[in-house]
A and B are shown apart, each in its own frame.
Chain A
Amino acid sequence: MLFDWIQAGSTVVAAFLASTVEFIEALTVVLAVGTVRGWRGTLLGSGAAVGVLLLVVALLGSALTRIPLDAIRVVVGTLLLLFGLRWLHKAILRGAGVIARHDEAKIYTREQQALRGMTGNADGWDKVAFALAFKSVLLEGTEVVFIVLALAAGGAGLLWPASIGALAALAVVGLLGFAIHRPLSRIPENTLKFVVGVLLSAFGTFWTGEGLGVLWPGGDWAIGGLVAGYLIVACVAVALCRQRFGAVSHARMGNES
């Protein structure tokens, strides 16, 4: 019973953090569309996209429960592993300064400028606002749907904890966006992505391993060990990349001068 709580609790936390990152990105575009084009079409577009995403989770989620757990753990665990390592790979490069950090305030301004150049009815029913908000929420939400389904595939009864985590993220980001009417640029999104990358990589490794017949020392507690392991590796990688990137940049500057 204790182990069920470990899996359920860690699933809620992972789904909440990962979904928060995606909802922050969607909120930036929704706010930009709403402030420039008006709120009616924007909110209807966002609501319609959330409805489509909930339907997909409900349909695929119930289908997942009918597939044998070991088979699904290998397939979904591998996808989750690729997904998590991709996030962690990018987060390491961002942390080391090799690629640019995600800046919601900058994206918000850029979106607003692009929207101001568009023609069409900005009062009342606005098809442009509906389409842009719908597309943005649907695209970012696709990642949330995958995260929820992948985390749910880790064990029986995990669809609810994963869904609760994602819905809580939607509520928190939505309420914050409604309250401050600005992109949530103060939330350390890059740090959040780093943490989520570590968590998803650990879950992906654990479930893929289980599906491949690996016996994890300590059973479900091994998830904690994997989280610690990936955290150490990622921190070492940031330090090494920073050092190498600094040396490469320095050498290039020397060659150019």
Chain B
Amino acid sequence: MSGAKAILKKVFRLFVDDAFLAVAVLFWLIVVWLLLPWILVPATWRGVTLFLGLAILLLGSVLLRVRKH
């Protein structure tokens, strides 16, 4: 039982270490998926926008961590 619990915990922590980053990434993916086509951003620009948003979130999350440390 403790082995199964350890594996489940490990699987969850594969993806979520910093809750802010995980939630913000999911939110950004929803924005790129639903909002960008709606405001008529061309499909070729959506890729660049997707990357830039993720890069800003990564940068923000590490700087936030430094501030909390």
Interface residues of A (CB under 8 A from B): 78-79, 81-83, 85-86, 88-90, 92-93, 96, 98, 135, 138-139, 142-143, 146, 201, 205, 208-209, 212-217, 222, 226, 229-230, 233-234, 236-237, 240-241, 244-245, 248
Contacts and interface: CB of A to CB of B under 8 A. Distances in A.
Contact of A78 (B26, B37, B69): B26
A217 B44 contact: yes
11 contacts: A78-B26, A82-B15, A86-B16, A93-B66, A98-B66, A146-B11, A209-B50, A212-B46, A217-B48, A237-B58, A237-B62
A236 B62 CA distance: 11
Contact of B62 (A93, A226, A229): A93
Given A81-B25, A89-B17, A139 B63 contact: no
Contacts of A236: 59
A222 B25 contact: no
Contacts of B46: 209, 212-215
Contacts of B38: none
B32 A214 contact: yes
Contacts of B57: 85
A89 B61 contact: yes
A215 B47 CA distance: 7
**Secondary structure class of chain B's binding surface, majority of residues:** helix
Contacts of A237: 58-59, 62-63
A85 B22 CA distance: 9
| 8 A-B pairs with least C-beta separation | A215-B43, A82-B15, A214-B47, A233-B55, A214-B46, A212-B33, A86-B17, A216-B47
**Secondary structure class of chain A's binding surface, majority of residues:** helix
Contacts of B21: 85-86, 89
A213 B25 contact: no
B25 A215 contact: no
Given A81-B54, A215-B47, A248 B66 contact: yes
B62 A241 contact: yes
**Which one of A82, A222, A241 has the greatest number of beta carbons of chain B within 10 Å?**
A82
Nearest to A80: B15
A86 B67 contact: no
B24 to A, nearest CB: 10
A132 to B, nearest CB: 11
Nearest to A245: B66
Given A96-B66, A139-B7, A237-B59, 7 more contacts: A82-B16, A89-B62, A142-B11, A143-B10, A209-B46, A212-B29, A215-B47
Given A213-B37, A236-B59, A82 B66 contact: no
Nearest to B65: A93
Contacts of A233: 55, 58-59
A208 B18 contact: no
Contacts of B37: 213
Nearest to A77: B29
B15 to A, nearest CB: 4
